[in-house]
A and B are shown apart, each in its own frame.
Chain A
Amino acid sequence: MAVEMLYFAWVREAVGSGGETIEPPAEAATVADLLDWLGAHSQSHATAFADRTRLRAAVDQRFAPLDAPIAGAREIAIFPPVTGG
C-alpha cells in the first residue's frame, strides 16, 4: 500500500525533498525497517538517516518510536527532535 513520506528541517535538506510517495516492501515492519530500505536505494536517504539517535518520527501524525509498526500507516514523517516555543 502506498505510504506518504514527509521530511522536516535538516532531514528534509539532507534527503533533498519535503516528501515522496513510496510503496514499501511487505518485509518492512517498522519505521526503522523503512529507513533501512530507503537508504539502500538512495545515497541521500542513507546519509540523512545514518545517525538514528538524531531522528524522530510520526506515524499518521502521532509521535512514534523508530521501532513502531507501520502496518496500515498512510503518512510517516521523519524529523529531528522538535525545537518550538
Chain B
Amino acid sequence: MIRVVVQPEPIDTAAELALAEADAGRAGAVATFTGLVRVDDGVTALELEHYPGMTEAALRHLANEAAERWALLGATVVHRVGRMAPGERVVFVAAAANHRAAALEACAYLIDRLKTDAPFWKRELRGAETRWVAARDSDAAASARWLAE
C-alpha cells in the first residue's frame, strides 16, 4: 500500500507503524525514519508551509518510485505542516519489504529525495524573530546520490 499524508495534526507513529507492519504481513521487514524538530539554537517553534496538491503528488511520485525500485510491499510518507514545537515529529517514512536491505535502502531514499523533490518550506521562530531556513548543499548531494546509482 502506498500511503501519503500531509497533515497539521501531530504524527501518530504507533498507528503509522502498525499500518506499515500490516503491509509487510508475515513475509518481511519494515524500516522507518522519524524526523523531529531539532532542539537547538533557541528555536522556539518551527513552521512548515507546503503547496497543496503539488506536495501530495510529489510525495506520491517518490513513494511509487521507491515501491517499484525495491519491490516494496508498502511505502508510507507522513509529513506535518503548520506550527510545531521542538521535539515534535515533522516527518515519518516507512518502507515494508521482504528483506531488510530493501526496506532500509528504500527508507533512506524516501527521506533523502523528499528533502529536495517535495515542495515544503521551513521557518524557524526564535521568540518574536522568524527566519526562513535555507536549502543545504548536503541535502542536494544526498538526494542526487540516488539518481547517480
Chain A contacts to B: CB under 8 angstroms? 6, 8-10, 58, 61-63, 77, 79-85
Contact = CB atoms under 8 A, between A and B. Distances in A.
Nearest to B119: A82
A85 B120 contact: yes
Nearest to B116: A82
Interface in B90-146: 90-91, 111, 114-123, 132-135, 139
Given A10-B132, A61-B57, A84 B119 contact: yes
Contacts of A58: 51, 54, 119
A81 B123 contact: no
Contact of B121 (A6, A61, A63, A80): A80
The 5 closest A-B pairs by CB, nearest first: A84-B120, A81-B135, A9-B121, A61-B54, A85-B115
Contacts of B48: 84
B132 A80 contact: yes
Contacts, number: 66
Given A9-B49, A82-B135, A84-B48, A77 B54 contact: yes
Interface of chain B, main secondary structure: mixed
Given A8-B119, A9-B132, A80-B135, A85 B49 contact: no
**Which of A9, A79, A85 gathers most chain B CB within 10 Å?**
A85
Given A82-B135, A83-B122, A84-B91, A8 B115 contact: no
A77 B53 CA distance: 12
**Which of A10, A77, A81 gathers most chain B CB within 10 Å?**
A81
Contact of A84 (B54, B57, B79): B79
B35 interface: yes
Contacts of B122: 83-84
A63 to B, nearest CB: 8
Contacts of A82: 115-121, 135
Nearest to A77: B51
B61 to A, nearest CB: 10
